[in-house]
Amino acid sequence: MVDATSGAAPLNGDPGPRYDEAPIIEVRDLTISYGRTPALRDITLDIYRHEIFGIIGPANSGKTTFLRALNRMDEFNPGMDVDGTIRINGKDINDWRNVYALRSRIGVVFPLPVGLPLTVYENVAFSPRLRGIRKKAQLDEVVERCLTRAALWDEVKDRLDSLGSLLSGGQQQRLTIARALSQEPELLFLDEFSIAVDPVTTMRIEDVLKELRSELTIVLVTNLVQQARRLADRTAFFLTGELVEIGATEDLFERKVEDERTTGYIEGRFG
């Protein structure tokens, strides 16, 4: 039996996920359909503070749909029907009257870099300005801190006034992470962040995520099973809208599984 709250060894001296505390995200009986087409069925799971929680599975298994539900992005899609309960910090996300206040606590990084048509500096300063920070010295501090946390400061500190779109693809993805961090989120969601990034940059971003784990809770959707193995404390395997299995990542890779479909996918026999 896989222990779903047994995680990987702590990274870089970090005490690791808080499995002895209440989950930061609680999902109960989550079912999502697009019109008459089901995308997820009866998903129940918990995600804990300071955990990197991996989600693997082939295309069309419901991974991105799951992330969208956590952030109430279903409101952008009138055809997306959501049933079940999602709580963050014990509060039902549907009880937030101001959805933007909810989303401000969640940083999101998409598969392709999505930069604002602004300078490098203004990409990162945008969210702090919306929160009312106006003094240049404070903005400078936020921008440097977030770019440093995203392992980008040393590469762009001399061209902060250049357009972010002029950076390389890998730099733009790290700029996206810096912009997400500028929100000062509790949660960071990454959806296939390395799909358009070279292997060297991917490893740099993975190192960033290991460091951020001590500050944030990270939900990582990836088609790269070895990336989940490198990063995730626990991993959930989704298949055709079903949560097949959830457990300590290394257990799943060591074949300590409840469902042989998990091993089949990890070993590349399908998907």
Q: Which domains does the chain have, with CATH numbers?
A: 1-105+189-271 (3.40.50.300), 112-184 (no CATH)
**Integer-rounded Cα radius of gyration of the chain:** 19
What is the 8-class DSSP label of residue 247? Answer: E
User: Token pair for residue 233?
Assistant: 């404390």
Structure tokens at 255: 């074949």
Tokens, residue 114: 């999505």
How far is Cα 148 from Cα 175, in angstroms, rounded to an integer? 10
Give alpha helix (H) positions in 42-152.
Answer: 63-70, 99-103, 120-130, 136-149
The pLDDT value recorded for residue 110 is: 83
Give strand pairing partners of 92.
87
Task: For the chain, 271 residues long, give each residue's pLDDT as a single digit of tens.
Answer: 344 565 544 444 556 788 889 999 999 999 999 888 889 999 999 999 999 999 999 998 999 999 989 988 777 777 888 899 999 999 999 999 888 888 889 998 887 667 678 999 999 999 999 888 989 999 999 999 999 988 899 999 999 999 999 998 889 989 999 999 998 999 999 999 888 788 888 898 899 899 899 989 999 999 899 999 999 999 999 999 999 999 999 999 998 888 999 999 999 888 7
Angle (CA) 22 25 26, round 5°: 80
Q: Is 93 exposed, middle or buried (0-12, 13-18, 19+ CB in 10 A)?
A: buried
